[in-house]
Structure 1
Amino acid sequence: MSTVPAEEEILRRVLDRWKTSVDAHAPADVASLFIEDAIFQGLHRYSVGRPGIAEYYDSQPLGMVAEYKILETRRLTDTLVLGYMQAEFSFPDRPTVSVYLSLLLRLVGGDWWIGHYQVSKLP
């Protein structure tokens, strides 16, 4: 029997695929993890939908890799999971960027998708 909460397992399944795609510099694969009309706020202007998400990740430098740590989870409804994570983006030629991520995952068609992605960079 697992001691990891179901919400954390759901988040980890999605975030592991996100990390693999980010690390591979595969912007279309990253965008495919989001619902069609996802609200996305990285460290630049926000966008809505997969094309803006793919464009954002395509603009990231080659060699960037992501690590994350889940800090909090909440099951809001049977079809919504909220996650709050600490993330680090490492680069081959510049300092690591540490941020906090808030994700809202939505169950659609039997799979979990990112519906909202918000990055906060604290001092």
Structure 2
Amino acid sequence: MNDEAVLHEVLDRWKGAVDAHDPDRAAACFTEDAIFQGLHPYTVGRAGVAGYYASQPLGMTAAYRVQEARRLADGLLLGYLAVDFSFTDRPTLTVNLGVLLRRTADGWSIAHYQVSLLP
């Protein structure tokens, strides 16, 4: 599987969980020790990821576009994406997202997630 296909496989699972407002399923896309930086203070681990997505408004959905994919080492993949978070009651929020995926015995998971807003 090529690098971009790996990103899509993991991020499609993440997007499905975000769109369904299923925080535990979203957290399952991450490694047990994932560093997670959304638009709130960072957390480490799946519990923090689940808490973050539980706090998101119902009806929020995500649409992403892969900008770059780079294999850093065997079992380690860097992705840079643009993500549009859409809401039922406010304008769409577009962010930049950097992810570091790690391959484990269970497959590929997000080990690092960092959102940034650009003016």
What TM-score bracket applies, with the shorter chain setting the length?
over 0.9
Counterparts in 2 of 1:30-109, with a 5 A limit? 30-109=26-105
Report the alpha carbon displacement of residue 81 of structure 1 after superposing the two structures with TM: 0.3
**What do the CA deviations read for 1:42-99 (whole angstroms, capped 9, x no partner)?**
0000000000000000000000000000000100011100000000000011011000
**Alignment partners' CA distance in 2, 1:13 and 1:54:** 20
Equivalent-residue separation in structure 2 for 1:109 and 1:100 (angstroms): 29
Partners in 2 of 1:109 and 1:86 — Cα distance?
A: 29
Distance change in 2, residues 1:24/1:72 (3 Å):
same
Runs (4+) of structure 1 exceeding 6 A deviation are: none
* Equivalent residue letter for 1:82: L
Q: Equivalents in 1 of 2:31, 2:66: separation in Å? A: 21
Could you tell me which runs of 5 or more consecutive residues in structure 1 were left unpaired when the two chains were aligned: none
**TM-score, normalised on structure 2?**
0.98
Deviation at 1:122, TM superposition (A): 0.6
Residue of structure 2 aligned with 1:114, choices 91, 110, 117: 110
Closer, same or farther: CA 57–110 of 1 in aligned 2, 3 Å: closer
Corresponding residue to 2:9 among 13, 20, 35: 13
- Find the residue that maps to 1:8 and give its secondary structure: helix
Helix, strand or coil: the match of 2:90? coil
* Counterpart secondary structure, 2:4: helix
